[in-house]
Structure 1
Amino acid sequence: MTHSNDNISARKGKHLSHSERSQIAILKTQKYSNRQIAKALGCAPQTINSEICRGTITQLNRQKQNGKVYDYYTTLYDPDAGQAAYDKLRLNCGRRPKWADTDAFIEWADDKLLQEKWSPDVVIGFAKTHDLFDSSIIPCTTTLYGWIDKGIMRTKNMDLLEKLSRKPKDTTYRSRRNKRMLGQSIEQRPAEIDNRQTFGHWEVDTVVGNKTKTDSVLLTLVERQTRFEIILKLNGKDIESVNQAISQLRYRAGDTFSKVFKTITSDNGSEFAGLHEALHETLDVYFSHPYASWERGTSENQHKFIRRFIPKGKAINQFSETQYLRIQQWMNDYPRKILGYKTPHDCFANALRSLSQAT
């Protein structure tokens, strides 16, 4: 829409509506000039000129007089014709959407989202990092979410676990009195661990199924720098089961245990009450504040991945060891944005390689 110097600024950037086009038709029948109509509507005279040119139609009028028929043509502005011309022009406005050029990316993205449970951001980041498609057909993450909302893809919002379960983050720490601390506080943890500058610092936690005493529990350990995950099945949520699983892990790791496991950060759950006593000669164990799950954010985020396969309330006994290993493998082979869209498995292998070279 063209604007003149005397145009009202409030109209800037706005298009004529159908009701305003009806006002133009009425004012034209009252012999208003285009400039007078523009002043009445608060827009530029050129806008009215262009609108009238697009919406002017020719009518055939037929009149009978003295037994003869006379035809003559008249021109007038019709608001419906103006609106139809405007709607037709709007169809050609804007940039052509990327999905209109080819279905290759959408089909690949749907497969990753539905079959491999990737998030939209990982889909975009992995495709760009590995040059799987021409950059002209790869949208940004926000656009991909928009395609899902509009129904352009087979993937629906209900297929995106993170989008449905995401809640505002509460970072306020509420101090609670008379709560036990099982060992060294997380406040004593060195800054290099907080900043993830070094390898070998882990977070440990448990994943509960249907909360019955007879159901099994998952013990999870995640390396903070590489996000590498280890999942172990426990017979129950108690000190003996946790200590037994840690002992098995030490036995399997052998001489490399002290190199790979330098520190472990836990919560103050009763099942970890014996963790400090069992490991203090080998590594440092730190405990987060009570009711401060954000202090172990890596572990909490990893649990969201596990919940994609083991929903809350579902008995863990229903899942076999093979299924746990598949979940663990999927998590370690899942590209992460924070890792430059590399997988935790690759980063963990590189860290082990660096350790062996240094040795």
Structure 2
Amino acid sequence: MQVHYTTTYKHLSLTERQLIGKWLKAGMSRRQIAKLLGRSPQTINKEVIRGQVKQMDTFRHNHSVYSYDYAQKQYERRRKKSTKKTKLDKKLTEIIVHYIKDKVSPEVIAKVKLKGSVSTSTLYNWLYQGRLGLNRTDMLYPHKTKVIKPVATNPRHYGKFIDKRPESTNQRLAYGHWEIDTVVLTRAKNPVLLTLTERKTRLEVIRLISDKTAQADNGSEFSRLSEALTCEVYYAHAYSSWERGTNENHNRMIRRFLPKGTRKTTANAVARIEMWMNNYPRKLFNYRSPNEMVRGG
């Protein structure tokens, strides 16, 4: 008859060790004990060997016997040694929390601020395990339920679509190609942000402008943009912000400081955000900032 044992390994408990000692004294075989405990014979055999102690009988002869008490102490000693010491002390916690609240990503904290002394994955683990004392609102991009946007019917556009732009622009070979968008802070007719992102260096320009009165498809607030500029202008398809992904990623960075629903901001506050972004280390530039990329050519 085939005997089935537990497939998920669990460490033996003190109670199980006491039963092993009791049943061995009663003359049971290790295989019988394994069957009673629902363990594999190999597990019981290893346990008995590890828990052996020397005892002297009345004839002063030494015998090896299983001691559940000794086996339990050996197990606890091994477990203590196997536990890794954490680097996360009070000082390190304060440093990490400071940068998280300063809107710095965990990756940049690990690679730049802590100079690689802590891995990015370790920092994320501390964050999600709650060991830094932070909550969901402190995360840069808390996970939210994805909103399904309506499909545009007969969308209007005011020039060439973005997929028609030259391949040299797509490859970011030269400085001077910009992606542009507006960032709405509230549904009310309040000032909005005009954002421009240079594709090669990721340099960011942010300006506070009067409210965006047009909300039609394809961004009609840019309907006369080609008339104001001497360069070629290409428009993203409706509801396809991923087509200008560089600018969209930068807009997400702005949201770290000005989340949706922000009612008031100032030109000075916007200028500080712009300066922060242009001095922020970027992984794709080996942690150089956009300003350093511009100066470096």
Which of the five TM-score ranges fits, normalised by the shorter chain?
Answer: 0.7 to 0.9
1:24 to 20, 26, 36: 20
Q: Which runs of 5+ in 2 are unaligned?
A: 56-64
Query: Deviations 1:225-282 (Å, cap 9, x if unpaired)?
Result: 211111111112158xxxxxxxxxxxxxxxxxxxxxxxxxxx8211011112222xx2
Secondary structure (helix, strand or coil) at the match of 2:27 reads: coil
Normalised by the length of structure 2, the TM-score is 0.79
| TM-score, length of structure 1 as denominator length | 0.67
Specify the code of the residue in structure 2 equivalent to 1:32.
Answer: M
Aligned to 1:53: 52
Q: 2:223 corresponds to which residue?
A: 273
- The aligned length equals 281
Could you tell me how far apart the structure 2 residues matched to 1:82 and 1:165 are?
46
In structure 2, the partner of 1:232 is 207
- AA at the equivalent of 2:158: L
Alpha-carbon contact 1:206-1:220 (below 8 Å) kept? yes
Give the aligned residue type for 2:221: E
The question of 1:121 aligning with 2:107 is answered yes
Per-residue deviation, residues 33-60 of structure 1 (Å, max 9, x unmatched): 3465457631426413235338x99xxx
Match of 2:291 in 1: 345
User: Which one of the candidate residues 140, 145, 153 is aligned to 2:119?
Assistant: 140
Which of 174, 177, 194 is the aligned partner of 1:201?
Answer: 177
Task: Tell me, yes or no, if the aligned pair for 1:210 and 1:313 is still in contact at 8 Å.
Answer: yes
CA contact (8 A) 1:199 1:225 kept: yes
Question: What SS does structure 2 have at the residue aligned with 1:222?
Answer: strand
Distance, in Å, in 1 between the alignment partners of 2:121 and 2:147 is 20
Return the letter of the residue paired with 1:17.
Answer: L
TM superposition shift of 1:285: 0.4
Distance (whole Å) between structure 1 residues aligned to residue 5 and residue 198 of structure 2: 57
- CA distance, structure 2, for counterparts of residue 216 and residue 340 of structure 1: 36
1:142-161 superposed matches below 5 A: 142-161=121-140
| Cα offset, 1:91, TM superposition | 1.6
Equivalents in 1 of 2:10, 2:259: separation in Å? 50
Is it true that 1:310 corresponds to 2:289 in the alignment? no
Specify the SS of the correspondent of 2:271: helix
Tell me the distance in 2 between the aligned counterparts of 1:199 and 1:174: 36
1:37 and 1:48 in contact (8 A); partners too: no
**How many angstroms does 1:321 deviate by?**
1.3
Cα distance in 2, alignment partners of residues 17 and 177 from structure 1 = 65
Instruction: Summarize deviations over 1:319-342 as a string: whole Å, max 9, x none.
Output: 221111111111111111122111
- The CA distance in 2 between the partners of 1:95 and 1:273, in whole Å, is 60
Shift of 1:14: 3.4
Separation in 2, partners of 1:199, 1:46? 71
Q: Closer, same or farther in 2 for the Cα pair 1:50/1:148, shift >3 Å?
A: farther
- How far apart are the structure 2 equivalents of 1:346 and 1:286? 28
Amino acid at match of 2:122: T
Tell me what 1:325 maps to: 271
Contact 2:48 2:66 in 1 (8 A): no
Is 1:298 the counterpart of 2:246? The answer is yes
SS in 2 for 1:220: strand
**2:52–2:66 contact (8 Å) kept in structure 1:** no
**Equivalent in the alignment of 2:82:** 93
Structure 1 segments unaligned to the other structure (5+ residues): 1-7, 58-74, 240-266, 352-359
CA distance in 1: counterparts of 2:225 and 2:5, whole angstroms: 68
